[in-house]
């Protein structure tokens, strides 16, 4: 990043309530206390790293107001209510530089089908394709090489990054962010076995992605057989996640990378699944339930439960079984001994 803040610029950004020391350095990077070099901004985000503050080489350090200690030479302490929040404010400024608001308009190289409706405030980047009947809302940004199929609908303030495919008839509500390579609306995986061949079952439903959803790079979401595959408001999905047809994901869920959800499964609101977890078809994971990484959930999970392992069972039981499995060599010896061997 081409970051450059003077200490004087940082004070209002972080809302510093006090300062100690001074530095002549311009801030050109962010780093942890341990890794910082002169020119960096560091922060004390967790009290357990308190002892690292005295040693850090950062030029500016964000510290809680009650921090006790004095800066080194050519070092500035900025005292704030919450150093993590203060850092986020700096990052938000950097983000504006990293991703400047694009100018509205349709790039000359984009291909816009008959009857597509693109809001005047939207930005359609180079080499995008918008098919007939599609709708693109206010301030929505299609970055480059984005495909929007016929009659697909995109709400306001969405951001579709390079190479995204939003297939025909699928719907994005507002403030949806799709990272590069996401595919929304591929066919559900459904076949009937007839006379020695797998005959395709037409997949004629669509995908509905509600407000404030973010989906990571190269994830795939299948259209419903009929009706809808749904991702609820505020849900966040990481990279390389598979959502099969007719899945219903509730609101404010978290699906970590490489998770797979089988057809017609239901995740209620606030479900959290660790990386590489899998959910079998036609089951329900209750509200607020949680799984560890790699859990394989093969039957309904009650609301609020924390499960792990494959097949997934209550987390504490799974940990206990792991410990006992490690003790199997000992157990076999004990049984040998009981048998007089």
Q: Please report whether residue 1 would count as binding a copy of itself according to CB under 8 A.
A: yes
> Which of 69, 48, 59, 58 lies closest to 23, judged by CA?
59
Q: Print burial letters for 9-40: b (CB count within 10 Å at least 16), e (below 16).
A: ebbeebebeeeebebebebbbbbebeebeebb
- State which of positions 41-80 bind a copy of itself (CB under 8 A): none
Q: Can residue 332 be called a binding residue for a copy of itself (CB under 8 A)? A: yes
Give the torsion sign (CA, 286, 233, 216, 145). Answer: positive
182-221 residues in contact with a copy of itself (CB under 8 A) are 183, 186-187, 189, 191-192, 196-198, 200-202, 204-206, 212, 214, 216-218, 220
Query: Cβ contacts of residue 50 below 8 Å, gap of 6+?
Result: 44, 67
Q: Which of 50, 57, 287, 294 contacts a copy of itself by CB under 8 A? A: 294
Q: Which of 91, 115, 117, 282 binds a copy of itself (CB under 8 A)?
A: 91
CA 210-285-319 angle, 5° bins: 130
Contacting residue, 104, 275, 303, 314, with a copy of itself by CB under 8 A? 275
Q: Is the Cβ of residue 25 or residue 313 nearer to a copy of itself in the bound state?
A: 313
Nearest-angstrom CA–CA distance, 166 and 231: 14
Nearer to a copy of itself among residue 129 and residue 301 (C-beta) = 129
CB-CB neighbours of 274 under 10 Å? 18
Contacts to a copy of itself from residues 99-138, by CB under 8 A: 99, 107, 109, 111, 125-127, 129
CB of 76 to a copy of itself, least distance (A): 18
Contacts with a copy of itself in 13-32 (CB under 8 A)? 29-32
Closest to 311 in 3D by CA, of 301, 320, 323: 301
Residue 236 within binding range of a copy of itself, rule CB under 8 A: yes
Active site residue 245: yes
Q: Does 171 bind a copy of itself (CB under 8 A)?
A: no
């Amino acid at each position: 990043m081409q970051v450059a803040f003077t200490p004087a610029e940082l004070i209002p950004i972080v809302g510093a309530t006090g300062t100690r020391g001074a530095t002549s350095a311009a801030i050109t990077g962010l780093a942890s206390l341990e890794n910082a070099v002169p020119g960096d901004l560091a922060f004390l985000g967790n009290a357990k790293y308190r002892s690292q503050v005295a040693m850090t080489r950062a030029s500016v350090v964000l510290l809680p107001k009650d921090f006790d200690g004095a800066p080194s030479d050519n070092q500035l302490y900025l005292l704030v209510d919450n150093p993590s929040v203060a850092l986020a404010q700096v990052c938000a400024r950097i983000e504006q530089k990293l991703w400047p608001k694009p100018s509205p308009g349709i790039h000359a190289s984009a291909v816009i089908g008959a009857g597509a409706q693109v809001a005047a405030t939207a930005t359609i980047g180079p080499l995008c394709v918008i098919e007939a009947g599609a709708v693109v809302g206010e301030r929505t940004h299609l970055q480059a090489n984005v495909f929007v199929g016929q009659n697909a609908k995109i709400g306001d303030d969405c951001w579709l990054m390079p190479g995204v495919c939003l297939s025909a008839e699928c719907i994005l509500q507002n403030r949806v962010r799709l990272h590069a390579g996401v595919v929304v609306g591929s066919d559900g995986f459904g076949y009937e076995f007839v006379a020695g061949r797998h005959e395709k079952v037409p997949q004629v439903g669509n995908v509905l992605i509600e407000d404030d959803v973010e989906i990571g790079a190269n994830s795939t979401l299948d259209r419903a057989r009929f009706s809808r595959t749904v991702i609820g408001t505020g849900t966040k999905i990481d990279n390389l996640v598979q959502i099969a047809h007719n899945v219903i994901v509730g609101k404010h869920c978290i699906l970590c990378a490489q998770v797979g959800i089988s057809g017609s499964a239901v995740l209620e609101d606030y479900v959290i699944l660790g990386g590489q977890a899998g959910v079998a078809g036609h089951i329900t994971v209750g509200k607020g339930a949680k799984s560890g990484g790699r859990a394989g959930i093969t039957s309904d999970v009650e609301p609020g439960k924390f499960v792990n392992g494959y097949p997934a069972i209550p987390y504490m039981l799974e940990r206990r079984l792991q410990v006992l499995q490690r003790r199997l060599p000992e157990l076999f010896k004990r049984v040998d001994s009981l048998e007089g061997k």
